[in-house]
């Protein structure tokens, strides 16, 4: 008998980073690391489950910028180059550790197998397009892939309704391009919601979105079933809220699974640890500065200094992943049994996470998911893994509510994205948003060079709107890059705006900008025609 439903939701997102003007660019590594450590390992785990006949069900957002990068031929080739270097290094490391560091040899063998399997999956299985792999799993009913705001734009901090609507409509069209049908759900960037934004979701045919717990808990009226059933907004869009208990079990730095002593230590890396600089230099960037390269030989060990970390033992970590999957399931069964009695119907326990937690930050995360779904399939029958869209089919009647303004950032609202460090961004963003609407209204039927210019202006605005720049500035990581990216996109937008007004478009300059910022080739600037 089903006493509860579990909906795991992975949010896969990276900002659009593509620099053809340089032969080698550090921030592109964000994508390459995520492919090797998260996206391909997830595909491998999911395909093993499918091949074993395990009936698993998972929801996963794949944001438009991520899909655009994963299908870009330049970035695909650069990833192959990156992976070739890692395969070469891993081969050398097997020999080196056999002779010089036997305590790391098992891990070296694991890395050689891992990187070679990544290359096989990327090149042979999917011909460099791993979006196809996720689409195939969706078409077979295992995944429910949802979209996100076009460039992860933070809707509550946009200046006008047209700009908000464009983020949703552009995301919808991009999803259709990559997955062959309209999206049924959306992960609003940073789970940020303001009452009234649901009208743009309804217009785009979106059936549900993901929110943090307080969106429902503080909504009007108060929720009868708390966060364990969706509510329906005034625009008939379902809202599913994060279960805080489940999140803490994985996210918490104190009690969460990823902090287990046997798991891989993220902050010890061969890029820094290799004693022979000439040996490791070919695998660094052209500047020769020591950085993480993804080969890590130590386990978390405990609360000890980095230099005291013990060697990583892959077999121990795998056993822990299986044990933690069993513990997670036992907790969900107990939780669902209690809630079923209290609520009077089977609860939905929604567990949303950043996808990059699984593999990149928590190296054993994909193994955890693999074992969890096997245990759900073989070891019990009272918890059923489903997607939010499935729950709406099982329980079509749900409470109507206006959810509260909310986000999943610190303190639950907007402070992470607008504060003393970032408030300067918005006067420039808002001016560009108003100007884009103005351009669309003035030139409703552009063609030729003017059409190219207006479409590129829309791309530059969208890229400037990415919530990633404010987040990076607030958290103090790669601040210089985030500031430069925002300023570059605002500068390019402004120059296009001024050239259009002067009827003097510099075609050679525009062509160079088009070559760099290639996102959304299907884009039509008329999406910014003002809302009536």
Sequence-ordered list of residues with C-beta below 8 angstroms from that of 457, at least 6 positions apart, any chain: 436, 439, 493, 496, 497, 500, 525
| Residue spans of the chain under pLDDT 50 | none
Q: Do 524 and 429 share a structural domain?
A: yes
- Per-residue model confidence (pLDDT) at position 255: 81
Per-residue b or e along 366-396, where b marks 16 or more CB atoms closer than 10 Å to that residue's CB: bbbbbbbbbbbbeeeeebbbbbbbbbbeeee
Q: How many residues does the chain have?
A: 532
- Per-residue model confidence (pLDDT) at position 248: 82
Q: Which of 499, 429, 527 is nearest to 469 (CA)?
A: 429
Q: Do 163 and 37 share a structural domain?
A: yes
Domain-located, residue 286: no
Q: Quick one: how far is CA 326 from the chain centroid?
A: 26
Can you tell me whether residue 516 is helix, strand or coil?
Answer: helix
Phi, psi of 343 (to 5 degrees): -85, -25
Domain-located, residue 119: no
Q: Do 435 and 345 share a structural domain?
A: no
Q: What is the CATH number of the domain that holds 358?
A: 3.20.110.10
Beta strands 143-148 and 185-187 are parallel
Domain-located, residue 99: no
**Residue recorded with tokens 């900008």:** 513
Q: Do 438 and 376 share a structural domain?
A: no
Q: Do 480 and 347 share a structural domain?
A: no
Of these residues, 91, 354, 390, 506, which one is catalytic?
354
Q: Which of 487, 405, 435 is nearest to 159 (CA)?
A: 435
Q: Do 334 and 404 share a structural domain?
A: yes
Cα–Cα distance, 52 to 413 (Å, whole number): 43
State the CB neighbour count (10 A cutoff) for residue 108. Answer: 24
Of these residues, 144, 190, 433, 460, which one is catalytic?
190
Phi, psi of 516 (to 5 degrees): -85, -50
Q: Do 331 and 230 share a structural domain?
A: yes
Helix (H), strand (E) at residue 199:
helix 198-203
As for how many domains the chain has, the answer is: 2
- Per-residue model confidence (pLDDT) at position 349: 98
Helices 365-378 and 314-343: angle between axes, nearest 10 degrees? 50
Domain-located, residue 159: yes
Q: Do 336 and 195 share a structural domain?
A: yes
- Per-residue model confidence (pLDDT) at position 270: 97
Q: Which of 244, 165, 277, 187 is nearest to 526 (CA)?
A: 165
CB 18 within 8 A of CB 518: yes
Taking the CA atoms of the chain, what radius of gyration do you get in angstroms?
24
Can you tell me whether residue 322 is helix, strand or coil?
Answer: helix
- Characterise 152 by phi-psi region: left (phi > 0), alpha (psi -120 to 50), beta (else): left
Q: Measure CA of the first residue to CA of the last residue in the chain; give whole Å.
A: 51
Cα–Cα distance, 238 to 364 (Å, whole number): 33
Q: Do 425 and 370 share a structural domain?
A: no
276 is catalytic: no
Domain-located, residue 112: no
pTM of the model: 0.97
Which tokens belong to 517?
A: 């910022």
Q: Do 214 and 134 share a structural domain?
A: yes
Domain-located, residue 271: no
Q: What is the pLDDT of residues 159-203, one digit of tens each?
A: 999 999 999 999 999 999 999 999 999 999 999 999 999 999 999
From 388, 411, 434, the end of a domain falls on 411
Alpha helical stretches, state H, 443-506:
448-464, 467-475, 479-501
190 is catalytic: yes
Q: Which of 400, 350, 407, 427 is nearest to 149 (CA)?
A: 407
From 391, 411, 431, the end of a domain falls on 411
- Per-residue model confidence (pLDDT) at position 121: 98
- Per-residue model confidence (pLDDT) at position 253: 64
Alpha helical stretches, state H, 292-422:
314-343, 365-378, 388-394
Q: Do 423 and 395 share a structural domain?
A: no
Q: Which of 345, 417, 332, 425 is nearest to 380 (CA)?
A: 332
Range of the domain at 164: 4-71+129-256+315-411
Domain-located, residue 287: no
HSE of 406 in the Cβ direction (CA atoms, 13 Å)?
Answer: 21
**Residue recorded with tokens 């006067």:** 427
Domain-located, residue 81: no
Q: What is the CATH number of the domain that holds 438?
A: 1.20.1430.10
Which tokens belong to 157?
A: 């901090």
From 411, 433, 453, the end of a domain falls on 411
Q: Do 377 and 519 share a structural domain?
A: no
């Amino acid at each position: 008998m089903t006493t509860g439903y579990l909906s795991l939701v992975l949010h896969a997102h990276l900002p659009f980073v593509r620099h053809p003007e340089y032969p080698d660019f550090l921030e592109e590594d964000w994508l390459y690391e995520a492919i090797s450590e998260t996206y391909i390992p997830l595909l491998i785990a999911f395909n093993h489950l499918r091949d074993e006949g395990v009936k698993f069900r998972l929801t996963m957002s794949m944001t438009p910028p991520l899909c655009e990068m994963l299908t870009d031929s330049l970035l695909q080739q650069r990833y192959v180059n990156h992976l070739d270097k890692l395969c070469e290094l891993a081969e050398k490391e097997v020999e080196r550790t056999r002779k010089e560091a036997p305590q790391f040899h098992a891990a070296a063998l694991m890395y050689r197998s891992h990187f070679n399997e990544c290359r096989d999956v990327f090149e042979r299985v999917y011909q460099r397009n791993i979006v196809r792999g996720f689409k195939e799993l969706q078409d077979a009913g295992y995944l429910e892939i949802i979209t996100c705001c076009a460039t992860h734009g933070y809707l509550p901090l946009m200046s006008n309704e047209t700009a908000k609507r464009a983020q949703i409509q552009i995301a919808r069209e991009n999803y259709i391009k990559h997955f062959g049908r309209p999206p049924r759900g959306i992960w609003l960037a940073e789970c940020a919601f303001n009452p009234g934004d649901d009208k743009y979701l309804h217009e785009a045919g979106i059936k549900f979105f993901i929110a943090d717990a307080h969106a429902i808990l503080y909504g009007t009226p108060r929720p009868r079933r708390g966060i364990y059933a969706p509510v329906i907004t005034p625009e008939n869009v379902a809202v599913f809220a994060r279960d805080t208990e489940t999140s803490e079990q994985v996210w918490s730095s104190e009690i969460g699974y990823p902090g287990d002593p046997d798991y891989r230590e993220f902050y010890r890396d061969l890029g820094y640890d290799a004693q022979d600089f000439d040996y490791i230099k070919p695998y660094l960037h052209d500047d020769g500065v020591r950085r993480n390269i993804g080969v890590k030989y130590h386990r978390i060990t405990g609360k000890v200094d980095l230099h005291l970390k013990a060697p990583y033992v892959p077999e121990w970590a795998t056993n822990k992943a299986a044990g933690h999957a069993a513990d997670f399931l036992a907790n969900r069964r107990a939780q669902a049994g209690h809630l079923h009695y209290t609520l009077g119907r089977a609860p939905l326990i929604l567990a949303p996470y950043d996808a990059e937690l699984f593999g990149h930050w928590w190296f054993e995360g994909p193994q955890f998911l693999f074992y969890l779904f096997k245990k759900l399939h073989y070891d019990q029958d009272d918890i059923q893994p489903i997607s939010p869209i499935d729950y709406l089919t099982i329980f079509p009647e749900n409470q109507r509510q206006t959810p509260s303004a909310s986000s999943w950032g610190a303190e639950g609202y907007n402070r992470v994205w607008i504060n003393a460090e970032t408030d300067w961004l918005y006067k420039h963003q808002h001016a560009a948003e108003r100007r884009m609407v103005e351009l669309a209204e003035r030139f409703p039927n552009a063609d030729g060079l003017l059409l190219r210019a207006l479409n590129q202006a829309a791309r530059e605005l969208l890229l400037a709107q990415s919530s990633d720049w404010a987040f990076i500035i607030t958290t103090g990581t790669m601040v210089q890059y985030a500031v430069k990216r925002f300023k570059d996109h605002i500068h390019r937008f402004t120059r296009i705006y001024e050239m259009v007004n002067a009827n003097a478009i510099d075609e050679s300059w525009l062509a160079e900008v088009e070559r760099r910022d290639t996102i959304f080739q299907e884009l039509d600037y008329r999406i910014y025609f003002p809302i009536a």
